[in-house]
A and B are shown apart, each in its own frame.
Chain A
Amino acid sequence: MAVTVKIPTQLRAAAGGVTDAEVEGSTVGEALDSLYEQFSDLRDRISGDGGLRRFVNVYVAGEDIRFLDGLDTSVSDGDEITILPAVAGG
């Protein structure tokens, strides 16, 4: 499945300056693994302790994956995954 991952500005330097990337995977976790294969520097910035770092939010089609199935959330062709910092607002 080809899905698009939108890279936040803070991570673009570690992703060769791109704003989004085409990746493969049928779940968010697989899609992120596919992203790390393209840009190995992203792995440590996004993931830790077997999950996501605590200040990283991930959305599929605008929905926080913690309201879905987390990293097991399924994604299908054409879906858009957005990675954003969690520290805004309030």
Chain B
Amino acid sequence: MASAEALKCKECKAEFPLDASYVCDRCFGPLEVSYRPLGDIDVAEFRRRIQGGPQNIWRYADFLPVETQPGSSGRNTSRAGLPAGCTPLVRADRLAERLGLGEVWVKNDAANPTHSFKDRVVAVAVARARELGFDTLACASTGNLANAVAAAGAAYGMESYVFIPADLEEQKILATGIYGTRLVAVRGSYDDVNRLCTELSAEHPWAFVNVNLRPYYAEGSKTLAYETVEQLGWRTPDRVVAPIASGSLFTKIARGFEEWLELGLANGEVPVFNGAQAAGCSPVAQAFEAGHDVCRPVRPDTIAKSLAIGNPADGPYAIELARSTGGAVDAVTDDEIRAGVRLLAETTGIFTETAGGVTTAVLAKLAQRGDIGADERVVLYITGDGLKTIDVARGTFEIHEIEPSLAAFEEALPDAVAA
């Protein structure tokens, strides 16, 4: 029952067929998938159908731009490729207590096949790429997308080309190459990689998931909102805190909430949107602070490499969203990011990568600033796993190395003995 109808320019509203294009050839604005209105739906029946769907993002296929639901269906099986989504939403009372907040939930999207939310967007982009007849995948990546595209290529048996900045964390490089992709490390920033891929996409008949397939890819992030609503008992949260790199995830989470509120599938209102950036790469936060509508590009210098996009494609829309919902876009320093990773780990048992440290640190900042009401239900979007940026943990705790004897243990940890 897929209802995607056209690609539509976000700027001038011109419409184009649902093929592998991403830019309006009249005004250069971004193209976005538009859908036929579903009209009045039987909410209870629709909810039952979703709940009876597979334990992955294809339970929301009605809201995704694919003609046929990929692969075989079955409640507990992946339809095809890697089963992305249906990640835990964890109530984080100890984190809330530490920050003096009422109710905080952590959407732990590290619990995806390649340990970041990128499996969602890749699943949708690859499904559409296959419908359009592509046999080769490609992407420009800050690391997480590299993992997801390489793994999707392996799962489907498709060739893939993954382009990354050469200075990426070793963990992300290793966890990409292992899938047998053609890995290209570009001497330059992510923005250089992105420019190169934009040029390459015109020269090669490949499905660059975040270039020529970007309108489909971006839709995958809406599933983070659908899941949150479903997991909260068909209600929207009051506020969300989410990271901003290109701004695509941030704005598509909002779109997911809006779609379901409009249909009556979700109760509540569009949440307040707080965006999180690293101070070492904060073009969106800077533009928000200065009251500008467009972002001036920056040269990234931060430990949060997965958010290190100096020239964010959806920056203007992210600013608009934060303003229109009464939210903000804040930036935190590398030390605050490290503290954020630590805070989330020691209060929730969830070890996140530096991007999650950014998000958690911004939540802490908002709490400290008094921006969050005591009765608010807040959802924190944790988009990647701590094992991807493990160097952050190094040197942050003490290791008690001892001989294997009781005496040695008692000497090393006298307080444990007293207790």
Task: Report which A residues bind B (CB closer than 8 A).
Answer: 8-11, 13-14, 45-46, 53-57, 59, 62, 64, 66-67, 82, 84-90
Known contacts A9-B202, A66-B296: A86-B28 contact under CB 8 Å:
yes
Q: Is the CB of B28 within 8 A of A10?
A: yes
- Asked whether B27 lies within 8 Å of A45 as measured between CB atoms, the reply is yes
Kindly list chain A residues whose C-beta atoms are within 8 Å of the C-beta of B211: 88-89
Known: A45-B27, A54-B294, A55-B28. A89 touches B246 (CB 8 A): yes
- Are B297 and A66 neighbours in the complex by a CB distance under 8 Å? yes
A interface majority secondary structure: mixed
Per the bound structure, the CA–CA distance linking A85 and B11 in Å amounts to: 13
Mask of B84-98 contacts with A, CB within 8 angstroms, 1/0: 000000000000000
A8-B202, A64-B297, A88-B22 known; A57-B311 Cβ under 8 A: yes
Q: Known pairs A10-B28, A54-B316, A88-B194. 19 more at Cβ < 8 A?
A: A14-B25, A45-B27, A46-B28, A53-B27, A55-B29, A56-B28, A62-B192, A82-B195, A85-B22, A87-B28, A87-B29, A87-B313, A88-B22, A89-B190, A89-B210, A89-B313, A90-B245, A90-B313, A90-B314
Complex contact A90–B309 (CB within 8 A): yes
Which listed residue (A10, A11, A88) contacts B140, Cβ 8 A?
Answer: A88
B248 interfacial by beta-carbon distance below 8 Å: yes
A56–B313 Cα distance when bound, in Å, is 10
Contacts of B312 in A (CB 8 A): 90
A56–B270 Cα distance when bound, in Å, is 31
In the bound complex, do residue B313 and residue A88 qualify as a contact, i.e. CB atoms below 8 Å apart?
yes
Q: Which of B21, B198, B294, B297 has the most CB of A within 10 A?
A: B198
Chain B: minimal CB distance from A90 (Å) = 2
* Residue B30 interfacial (CB < 8 Å): yes
Q: Roughly how many angstroms separate A46 CA and B25 CA in the complex, as a whole number?
A: 10
Chain A residues within 8 Å of B195, by CB = 57, 59, 62, 82, 84
Q: Indicate which residue in B29, B297, B316 contacts A67 across the interface (CB closer than 8 Å).
A: B297
Please, which residues of chain A bring their CB within 8 A of the CB of B309?
89-90
How many Å lie between the Cα of A78 and that of B412 in the bound state?
70
Distance between Cα atoms of A3 and B348 in the complex (Å) = 58
Any A CB within 8 A of the CB of B199: yes
In the complex, which of the residues B26, B30, B210 contacts A45, with contact meaning CB atoms closer than 8 Å? B26
- A19 vs chain B, min Cβ distance (A): 9
Q: Are A53 and B28 in contact (CB under 8 A)?
A: yes
Q: A89: which B residues are within 8 A, CB to CB?
A: 140, 190-191, 194, 197-198, 210-211, 214, 246, 309, 311, 313
Q: How far is the CA of A85 from the CA of B313 in the complex (A)?
A: 9
In the bound complex, how far is the Cα of B214 from the Cα of A86, in angstroms? 12
CA distance A85 to B10 in the complex (A): 14
Chain B 21-40 interface mask (CB, 8 Å, partner A; 1/0): 11111111110000000000
Within 8 A of A (CB), among B171-198: 190-192, 194-195, 197-198
